[in-house]
Amino acid sequence: MTKIVGPIFTGRSWEEYQKMFHLEEWELKNQSFLDCAAGASSFAAYLANQGGDVRAVDRLYDQDPQILRSLCQEHLEALIKSLEPIKKEFDWTYFRDLEHLQKHRYGSCQEFYQDYSQNRHRYIQGDLTRLPFDDDQFDIVLCSHLLFIYDHRLDLDFHLRVLEEMFRVAGEEVRIYPLVKHKKRKSEFLKPVWERLSEVAELELVKVDYQFRRGGDQMLVMRK
Ligand SMILES: C[S@@+](CC[C@H](N)C(=O)[O-])C[C@H]1O[C@@H](n2cnc3c(N)ncnc32)[C@H](O)[C@@H]1O
């Protein structure tokens, strides 16, 4: 089995994004979006197909499409195997079971692969600590499943730098999901992040209509 040492390269679907970030139709139609650490998510592909204004950034977007497709499949298989013994810790409302989860994520991976192969301009290679974008370039900046869940590998300084950087390129707001790693406990970084960022941003915890990690039904919103 593949041993995954860092943040894995998989992707959630646009439906999951819509729920995790409480995205409304008018926003999807009228706002510009940046998906940060977008991985193999199908959010950008879907939204662009609907005529939306969207870019995605990830540190691996300098890789060839075939390489990213293989990586996504490999990480997805490893993820499913690693979830088997701990599946009771998750909420099986959105996904029926592991098979359903795997199919759904595989679909996102395929959609991503097609769009990434044909529309490379939408996918920008970059590190979240130094985003290659102007101040206020996007209305809404999203970040799913990187911050607060790898807090054993990514330290508080990394979290603060990334949050400040995403806030810099956001014209209106930044939304981050999830805030809970496991056992319904919020990341211990949330408190120091809140204290530091409330000096520059209006912060709010917003309940969302999505939960896979138990207790993970809130996003953090940073507004200008
Ligand atoms: C678990 S995946 C999440 C993908 C997607 N956002 C989702 O929710 O399905 C984490 C992603 O973060 C990317 N990543 C990790 N560290 C990064 C960094 N410093 N800058 C940019 N991307 C990074 C990885 O390459 C990977 O694609």
Q: Where along the chain do its domains lie?
A: 14-223
Confidence class for position 63, pLDDT limits 50, 70, 90: very high
Strand partners, 71: none
Residue 10 CA to ligand 1 centre (angstroms): 8
% pLDDT > 90, the chain:
92
Class of the CATH-defined domain 14-223: alpha beta
Output the pLDDT for position 174: 98
Confidence class for position 182, pLDDT limits 50, 70, 90: confident
Nearest CA to ligand 1 atom 5: 38
Given a cut of 90, whether residue 158 has pLDDT beyond it is yes
Report the mean per-residue pLDDT for the chain: 95
Confidence class for position 4, pLDDT limits 50, 70, 90: low
Output the pLDDT for position 23: 98
Given a cut of 90, whether residue 10 has pLDDT beyond it is yes
Confidence class for position 176, pLDDT limits 50, 70, 90: very high
Ligand 1, closest atom to CA 108? 9
